[in-house]
Structure 1
């Protein structure tokens, strides 16, 4: 499938963050900033349904947007040119095959995404990975919802998780997840599942990892809560400060209790738990 990059020249970092929060209400899948330019990525087939509203939003903020079509086959080169390895406090390295290996004694996850978008979500990958390192997942069953490359499921498996489901709605992501879990030697403990939240109906987990966006998280919160075992952890990221209140309120409505918040580069993580 083809994607479109919306490039918006902002007056500064604060306006870029505000616009990111506004655009997150639509079907954009990722964001990044280069200088004062905000780049937002959306599937081409979904843009037509919301382009008029997006254009009106940009007019309201007094900024101009430029839409650039990006063909699927260009994403690998684009990703390779932009993506740095993710060093999680010297405790874990998430890298691509073209990066240098981790130092001796440092565990690593090697992924090569086929459809990944700039550097905007590296802060959330870092936040979620650190949370997994500290969550105590050894021997537990988990879910990586919106798994993409499968990186968080792989991190959890390497931390000793007994089994994980890795669910993503995109067939490219599903295929790439399968490649990455095989390459990292954890295919026996991770089950990729193509589809949306309906795929987890009737399943139960000790922990759920969901690095998606505010709209999906709030819409699917009831399904996450139903899938959590008593004492189970739900760790979520992929949103900004303006979204935290809505995320926590949606969790509270499902009886999930707050555990922790974390922030990195303007991106937030919320950790909640189902009572025993």
Structure 2
């Protein structure tokens, strides 16, 4: 039995525009095969016999198909302690600067978005426990968010493959994980319960605003999938989710200076990061 017919140029355009309006992600003609594969998977899963019938289901959001459609297009390749130079910067420079203005016991909020299957927010929690002497002086809240609801479920479960742990030393693994078998490791319950997970779409302020303001945001390797207009919208939303004086860390190939003038560039020994100015800091 043959699979769905390849999407036409017009159908590809309609799908790309739909995905762009919903997520800010842009797919050019060069991604036609990538899009075709995922549409074929969703058509098979829903029993759609033609592009027209599937697209009608998508537009009506029958049985939550929009969520499943978006989930099919997200990229979730990650591992623990990825780009750990930013973790060094977090404890050496960012947090000491942020906590100068805080009293013992005050809230310190860190947001990992997109968080994928949880490696990044859990990495932040582990790193703080092992490398920041002030960790017990503040009420630390770590939130992980993603547009893909499947990866949020996996993050909350806290079970990881051996590959996800490849950058961790044996002593770190022994402290924070329990082996389930030769290939799967479960993060300790206390650590799993220290991170809260929420769904979010970075280009929708009605979804970003409810998460409140943070002292530090890690937003790595997602803006590269947006076009210039969506990047600016996402940057403005992230700006509103930062407390005045708060910091944002991007992926190593990304530059906020090329996206938005709202942030100040801060250069530290371990990383270049971006800061929301303090109120009244700019004339």
Q: TM-score range by the shorter chain?
A: 0.3 to 0.5
With normalisation by structure 1, the TM-score equals: 0.48
Q: Radius of gyration: which is bigger?
A: 2
With normalisation by structure 2, the TM-score equals: 0.47
Quick check: which one's helix share is greater?
A: 2
Query: Which structure ranks higher in relative contact order (CA pairs < 8 Å, sequence separation ≥ 6)?
Result: 2
